[in-house]
Structure 1
Amino acid sequence: MSFTQRQQGAITLASGGLLMGTMGIFVEEARLGALTLVFFRCLFGFLALAAYCGWKGFFSRAQFTRRTTALALIAGVLMVTQWVGFFDAIHRTSIAVATVVFHVQPFWVVLIGAALFHERLGADRLGWIATAFAGLVLASGIAAGDNLHGHTSYLVGIGEALAGSVLYASVTLIAKGLGNLRPHLLALVQCAVGVVCLPFIAPLTAQHIAPMQWFWLIGMGVLHTGLSYVLIYGALPKLTTPIIAVLLFVYPLTAIAVDALVYGRALSVPQLAGMALIVVASLGVNLGWPLFSMLRPRARRHAE
């Protein structure tokens, strides 16, 4: 049986999402602080991506102008900061909650893009965005008081995941201005920023890291930064926007399943309903589904 290019792209993107969905296990099992986790993710991710880019012949002076280098470095600072916040959010909340909250980032892209480029959002898109943030309130557990019990740590974790989603949205908008710079090289720069900058922020030592912890750290770099990015970036050009919009949710859905099956931390019914609202709203925004506009013809007919 031969696969078409679109089928290959769909399988590849879904595989990348499934792989990313297991990253929370590596974060939990490594049992290290967020700064240390991100440093070693960047280190091993840089080595994996550098080997791949070298093998594919991606390195060339034409890829890096003064402007693209500056933008890539800014994106790197934002991305590394987002990784630190996201990993700490997993420690404070759970894999599922942190991942679901983080996945409102497409809506920040729309809102920030509208603010910067003076784009008109329209009632439908604003309606879907409002739906997504209603889903966020449910999914986070704040509305029902799930897991809170007066602990500020959980709320801090929610805030970190939400702030991370804003930072990732900013990186997405910067990436759109990088022209023909390959996304693999952008990811490589991001890892390089983490390797260079993080030791200045917090002292890092490898003396007290056990052999099994090294397995999880290397896995985060090679699998969740090297292989997963290669799979995802390689698949995107082969797929249409609707297929991409649907398959991007393989990642959070896998993370929810992993948290429930491995750690017994299943989301409550309201949280699952919130996740469903975020998924539907994301598809509505990306695919241009009508929300209010489909009600207008009916209202007009009734008025007549």
Structure 2
Amino acid sequence: MQELTYIKKQQRGLIEMLLAMIICGTIGLTVVLSGEEASNLIFFRCLFGSLVLGFICFYKGLFQSTTYTKVFWISSLIGGIALQLNWYLLFSAYNNASIGVATTVYNIQPFMMVFICALLFKEKITKSILFWLLVSFIGLYLISSTKVEIIETYDVYIIGILQALGAATLYAVASISAKYLVGFSPILIAFFQMALGILVFFPFAKFEIFSTSNFQEITAIITLGVVHTGLMYILLYGAIQKLEAYKVASLSFLYPVLALLIDRFYFDVHLVVLQVVGILLIFLGAAGINLRGFIDTFLKDQSKSRS
């Protein structure tokens, strides 16, 4: 009976993670279709996302049952600001470097987290980490070697890649701040981060877009908040609670793969061979970092079973 419950839990977690990654993979497309500036788009993403997350928090009684500590507020503030600025840079990178390339470069974030943790918490950087870092940065160099054809100039393309790297660094900061929020509901944390985003980006909000934009643009703006923020967070955190970390890490690669497919088949972006090799190297490097602990454990178990 327990085994059957575990299997059902795993199946549900896999479905939730797959749906979350499909939603993530279409963020870039939704941003581009909205036709809006990054700052204005982030405001409405936070606004509509907070409505969904706030309803879930209210329904589950999270507002009343949570004891708010100083650590909660400080970590939520730091993580929230890093998350919003991360979105700003990433959304800008979509237009400057293409959706697929920006998303792939953005997936260097595990390395950013490793280096920040080494700097702040003196965590050791092993030879294995340095090897996978080298693999990814060779990939980054190959991607940067020539611009994709839909981008006007090489300078703009490089700016887009740097924006994606900056976004990855800020996302790592947001992830590290979440380490201090163990025991708090992830959905509640996300709600307060969205509320913070509303306050930060309110000066840039353009409410007139609902009278001047077309149906496609308005739909994209609302979808980004309701689906790509509210629903995606619920699915993602639900999956993380049900699945082992290595399954979450491996399925996360669906996000950039889908973004690349959208680039190719929707925007007709053609990459040269060196850029394709670069993308594969970044995927390989990120996989090496994300899955290294599980690979080491597996090899040790195999070694023990043979002896």
User: Please, what TM-score do these two structures have when normalized by structure 1?
Assistant: 0.88
Structure 2 residue aligned with 1:302: none
Verify: 1:166 aligned to 2:169, yes or no.
Answer: yes
Cα deviation for residue 57 of structure 1 reads 2.3
Would the aligned equivalents of 1:49 and 1:188 in 2 still touch at CA under 8 Å? yes
Quick one: structure 1 residues 63 and 168, their matched pair in 2 at CA, closer, same or farther if it must change by over 3 Å?
Answer: farther
Q: Deviations over 1:194-237 (max 9, x none)?
A: 1111123x352324333432211110000100111110100012
Structure 1 residue aligned with 2:199: 196
Verify: 1:214 aligned to 2:218, yes or no.
Answer: yes
Structure 2 residue aligned with 1:184: 187
Quick one: structure 1 residues 262 and 178, their matched pair in 2 at CA, closer, same or farther if it must change by over 3 Å?
Answer: same
Cα deviation for residue 270 of structure 1 reads 2.1
Quick one: structure 1 residues 93 and 191, their matched pair in 2 at CA, closer, same or farther if it must change by over 3 Å?
Answer: same
Cα deviation for residue 55 of structure 1 reads 1.8
Structure 2 residue aligned with 1:269: 273
Structure 2 residue aligned with 1:16: 20
Verify: 1:227 aligned to 2:225, yes or no.
Answer: no
Q: Deviations over 1:227-249 (max 9, x none)?
A: 11110100012111221111011
- 1:222-261 aligned at under 5 Å gives the runs 222-261=226-265
Cα deviation for residue 76 of structure 1 reads 0.9
Where in structure 2 are there 5+ consecutive unaligned residues? 297-307
Distance 2:67 2:284 in 1: 37
Quick one: structure 1 residues 61 and 11, their matched pair in 2 at CA, closer, same or farther if it must change by over 3 Å?
Answer: closer
- Stretches of 4+ moved more than 6 A in 1? none
- 1:1-304 aligned at under 5 Å gives the runs 4-60=8-64, 62-138=66-142, 141-147=143-149, 150-200=153-203, 202=204, 204-206=206-208, 207-288=211-292, 289=295
Quick one: structure 1 residues 95 and 251, their matched pair in 2 at CA, closer, same or farther if it must change by over 3 Å?
Answer: same
Would the aligned equivalents of 2:43 and 2:205 in 1 still touch at CA under 8 Å? no
Partner SS, residue 119 of structure 1: coil
Quick one: structure 1 residues 273 and 25, their matched pair in 2 at CA, closer, same or farther if it must change by over 3 Å?
Answer: same
Cα deviation for residue 72 of structure 1 reads 0.2
Distance 1:24 1:95 in 2: 6
Distance 1:12 1:44 in 2: 21
Give the aligned residue type for 1:252: P
Distance 1:99 1:105 in 2: 11
Partner SS, residue 180 of structure 1: coil
Partner SS, residue 212 of structure 2: coil
Cα deviation for residue 52 of structure 1 reads 1.7
Cα deviation for residue 143 of structure 1 reads 1.8
Would the aligned equivalents of 2:80 and 2:193 in 1 still touch at CA under 8 Å? yes
User: Please, what TM-score do these two structures have when normalized by structure 2?
Assistant: 0.87
Give the aligned residue type for 1:78: A
Where in structure 1 are there 5+ consecutive unaligned residues? 291-304
Structure 2 residue aligned with 1:301: none
Distance 1:284 1:211 in 2: 43
Identity of matched residues, %: 34
Would the aligned equivalents of 1:79 and 1:167 in 2 still touch at CA under 8 Å? yes
Partner SS, residue 124 of structure 2: coil
